[in-house]
Structure formats: structure tokens, C-alpha cells
Amino acid sequence: MDDRYEAVGKFASAICQNILANLNERTENFRLGDGFETTTNSVFSALIARQSALALGMAESPLTWSGHIAPVILRSMVDLLITFRWIAINPRDRSIEYVNYGLGSEKLLTSHYQKQIEDGTDDDRIRKIAEANFAWIESQQFHIFVEVKLGSWAGTSIRKMCEETGDKDLYNFAYVPFSAAVHNMWNHVGKWNARTCDNPMHKQHSVGVIADAWPIVDFMFRACKYLELTLEAFDKFYEFRSDITPPTQEFNEHIEQLGASWNSVQSSSDEGAERV
């Protein structure tokens, strides 16, 4: 089994390096736009870093390539891709909306902490968190001008955002199915955490299990794909051309090697078993 882990590790390591190379090329010494669109530039630069961090997190942790964990991460990646594309349609206004909503949300959280302190919770940790949050908000905007908004930040639904960006399939075939994992819906849980009881007298009730299927490399491919689509949206916006191998190509270049290593370890262990 150790050799198989090693093969996966080698594969994952190549993907990690590619993810970082793609990100660094777009964040180090990258001249963003005309220099007057600070919020847009900040948001887009930070969002590709976030998307890279999620893909990197999966690549660094091949044990997450299972139906239990990967879809939760992938849903977040799809969400980010939709957000990025949607902001790019009206970058000036929407990037400001995006930031302001986040600041408002942090202000609300800070006020909850402050209320706890006022109510007599004398916990130094809470005080420190509240102060740090407050300082983070104030470093960007005067606290009193930060508006707390409820509901979705974009003021519209994810489905409508996908329609507006011209990619309904992303909503239907990626966002919705991965959401079933995030929200622990039966169409996820019933597949991955339930098996039919063996006893024929038990009216076919389900028994909770943790389905054992690993590694599902397609999940890592999806992560590469959502990262790549985000990088493409970034490059399109800034009219940037990269010479670095795109993540899915990197994946494809190494996946056969992984398959060959995996199968050779598998067949040699089968032979060993036969000899015994």
C-alpha cells in the first residue's frame, strides 16, 4: 500500500507546483489594469489566490479525494468561479459591493462580540477578537460607514448569476450536486453514508456507513478545472497571456503515470497474494 501512496504523492506534488506557479505568475510583479481600479484589482487578485488555496489544499491532501470531503471543497470553488465571472461583468460596482458585504458581515459579528462583553462576559480572548476584527474593518473603511446587509451579497440568486454569466450548466451540473454534499442532503448522504441492511426481514432499511472509495482522482481534476476557469476569467479581464501549463493539462500529463504506477503496485501485490 505504501508504494501506492508514494505514487499518489508524486502526482499530487506536480499539481501543487503547477498551482503555485500559475498563481505566482499572476500576483508577483503583475501590473493590474489601469491602476485606478484598486478595489477590482484587490478582489480579483485575492480571489484567484483563494481559488488556488482551495485547489492546493486538495492537492496537498490526497486523502480528501473522496466523496465525503472533496465535494464540499469543490462547491466552494464553483461558488468562487461564479462570483468572479459575475463581478467581471460590472467590475467597478460589483467588486465594491462584494467588499462592502464582507465588511458589513464582519461588523455584525464584531457587534455580537461587543454585546457579549457589555453583558459582562469578561473573556480576554473575546475582547482581543473583537478588537482585531474592528481594526481590520477600520483599516479599509470607517466603521460607522460600513453598512450591514442581510441576504445574499449580490442581491440575486446563484442560479441567476450563472444565467447572467451564460453558464447554466455550471449551476445545474456542478453547483447543485456539490451543494447536496454541503447541506448533507439525502441525495448525498443516501449514496455515500447508507447501505441496505442485509437482513431480508428488516424491510430494507438503511444502515449508516462511510463508503470506502479512494482515491477518486476525478475530484482533483475538477479542482484543477475550476481553478483553470477562474484563471481564464482573470486572464480575459486583464488581457494576460500565460506560458505556464494550465492546471488540467498538468493533471492530464501526470495522470497516466499515476495509473501505471498504481496498477504495477496493484498487480505485484496480487501476485504476492497468489504465491501465498
Is residue 114 left, alpha or beta, with left meaning phi > 0 and alpha meaning psi from -120 to 50? alpha
Q: How far is the CB of 185 from Zn ion (least distance, A)?
A: 23
Number of residues in contact with Zn ion, rule: CB under 5 A? 3
Binding track, positions 223-252, relative to Zn ion; x by CB under 5 A: ------------------------------
199 or 269: CB nearest Zn ion: 199
In this complex, which beta carbon is closest to Zn ion, that of residue 168 or of residue 202?
202
Residue number, 17 or 199, with CB nearest to Zn ion:
199
**Minimum gap (Å) between residue 200 Cβ and Zn ion:** 9
- 92 or 202: whose CB is closer to Zn ion? 202
Within residues 183-222, the interface with Zn ion by CB under 5 A covers: 197, 199, 202
Smallest distance, Zn ion to C-beta of residue 199, A? 4
Shortest reach from residue 225's CB to Zn ion, in Å: 41
Can you tell me which residue has the cell 486523502?
A: 63
Residue nearest to Zn ion (CB): 197
Q: Which is nearer to Zn ion, 116 or 193 (CB)?
A: 193
Q: Residue 269 and residue 7: Cα distance in Å, rounded?
A: 15
Is 13:61 a contact under the CB 8 Å cutoff?
A: no
Q: Which residue, 198 or 274, is less far from Zn ion as judged by CB?
A: 198
Q: Binding to Zn ion by residue 260, rule CB under 5 A? A: no
Burial of 182: CB neighbours in 10 Å, binned 0-12, 13-18, 19+: middle
Binding pattern for the stretch 90-109 against Zn ion, x by CB under 5 A and - elsewhere: --------------------
Q: Among residue numbers 32 through 51, which ones bind Zn ion (CB under 5 A)?
A: none
CB of 67 to Zn ion, least distance (A): 23
Is the CB of 176 or the CB of 194 nearer to Zn ion?
194
- CA quadruple 12, 14, 15, 19: dihedral positive or negative? positive
Shortest reach from residue 195's CB to Zn ion, in Å = 10
Whose Cβ is closer to Zn ion: residue 151's or residue 208's? 208
Minimal distance, residue 207 CB to Zn ion, in Å: 6
Least Å distance, CB 216 to Zn ion, is 28
How many Å apart are CA 236 and CA 217, to the nearest integer? 28
Q: Which residues are at the interface with Zn ion (CB under 5 A)?
A: 197, 199, 202
